[in-house]
């Protein structure tokens, strides 16, 4: 595939992340075909000139590059390998899954793609809704060097850091490293804020100090500030994070690696889902803290 502004792009999955990411592809001038489970999420892109397709297969039939950004591995499986899926119609195309999904599924998809004369990349992202909106995502890619080189101009429309990590599945493994770091970090953020509250401190003032020191970072500065404001609206759904932590734990188990922080974080988040909080943002972990011992 020779990249140009005429390269036809298909985008499937237009939620919090996907609709922002697809918007950058459209704004760069590419013809854009879109599909999403609920059509209403496509309205804004359709008004700006994107074309609606009725199935993932239809998207693939009209695209040189297909990008997916759905929710769970089961959604990836349906959209790629289902009867009307991307791989039922794709031919000589570059296929990129940006969902956070399992490394094993990424390798399976790459294998099927090869039988359709297609190249597949796994390219999960970090940077959240803000990173998607501002085209400042960090994109971690698994797949062949040749496919990576072809994908680079399009991925750069959505991210500022685009790095190839290895063969198929390596992008997803890297994303698991990212989620493992966040799993323990967010527990620390909640505990620090719970402690500050119990000590009677003025929390926004505490954040001014500790957010500017060695503890600073996205989890503390952005999500910690939301916790202090009592804002638990989703940028990143708890149910998606629990999905990621489950994948990471399974992969770690297969590698005979014990990760106690990851296991505890998953347990606390799973409890929040049981309490009906799965569609809140990950900062709602704070609801597990704050009670005095
Ligand atoms: P989201 O808002 O739920 O978006 C997912 C979209 O995919 C939804 O619009 C959904 O349709 C659509 N979809 C799901 N299954 C589908 C299917 N079978 N066919 C067609 N469309 C389907 O979630 P998100 O926050 O954008 O996250 C997307 C992925 O990125 C997840 O894997 C998440 O873990 C990962 N991620 C998220 C963030 C973040 O901060 N939000 C950051 C990094 C990575 P409906 O509209 O019908 O639900």
Ligand 1 neighbourhood includes 13 CB (under 6 angstroms): yes
pTM of the model: 0.96
CATH topology of domain 173-289: 1.10.1040
User: How many angstroms does the Cα of residue 69 sit away from the middle of ligand 1?
Assistant: 6
Domain with CATH 1.10.1040.10 in the chain: 173-289
Domain with CATH 3.40.50.720 in the chain: 9-167
Q: Encode pLDDT of 175-215 as tens digits.
A: 999 999 999 999 999 999 999 999 999 999 999 999 999 99
Q: Encode pLDDT of 97-154 as tens digits.
A: 999 999 999 999 999 999 999 999 999 999 999 999 999 999 999 999 999 999 999 9
pLDDT at 89 over 80: yes
User: How many angstroms does the Cα of residue 55 sit away from the middle of ligand 1?
Assistant: 16
CATH topology of domain 9-167: Rossmann fold (3.40.50)
Per-residue pLDDT, averaged over 259-286, amounts to 98
Instruction: Indicate the average pLDDT of the chain.
Output: 97
- So which residues are the catalytic ones? 175
Torsion over CA: 64, 65, 71, 74 (sign): positive
């Amino acid at each position: 595939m020779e990249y140009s502004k005429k390269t036809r792009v298909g985008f499937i999955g237009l939620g919090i992340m996907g609709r922002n990411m697809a918007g950058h592809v459209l704004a760069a001038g590419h013809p854009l075909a879109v599909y999403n489970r609920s059509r209403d999420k496509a309205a804004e892109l359709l008004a700006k000139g994107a074309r609606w397709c009725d199935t993932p297969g239809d998207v693939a039939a009209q695209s040189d590059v297909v990008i997916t950004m759905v929710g769970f591995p089961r959604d990836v499986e349906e959209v790629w390998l289902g009867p009307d899926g991307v791989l039922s119609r794709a031919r000589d195309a570059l296929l990129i899954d940006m969902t956070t999904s399992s490394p094993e599924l990424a390798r399976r998809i790459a294998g099927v793609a090869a039988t359709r004369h297609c190249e597949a990349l796994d390219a999960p992202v970090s940077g959240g809704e803000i990173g998607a909106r501002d085209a400042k995502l960090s994109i971690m890619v698994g797949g062949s060097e040749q496919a990576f080189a072809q994908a680079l101009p399009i991925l750069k429309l959505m991210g500022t850091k685009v790095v190839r990590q290895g063969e198929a599945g390596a992008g997803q493994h890297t994303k698991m490293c990212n989620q493992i770091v966040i799993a323990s970090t967010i527990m620390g953020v909640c505990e620090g804020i719970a402690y500050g509250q119990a000590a009677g401190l003025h929390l926004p003032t505490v954040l001014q100090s500790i957010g500017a020191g060695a503890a600073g970072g996205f989890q503390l500065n952005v999500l910690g500030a939301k916790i202090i404001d009592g804002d638990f609206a989703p940028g990143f759904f708890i149910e998606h994070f629990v999905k990621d932590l489950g994948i990471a734990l399974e992969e770690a188990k297969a590698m005979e690696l014990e990760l106690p922080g990851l296991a505890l974080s998953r347990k606390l988040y799973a409890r929040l889902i049981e309490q009906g909080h799965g569609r809140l943002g990950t900062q709602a972990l704070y609801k597990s803290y704050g009670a005095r011992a």
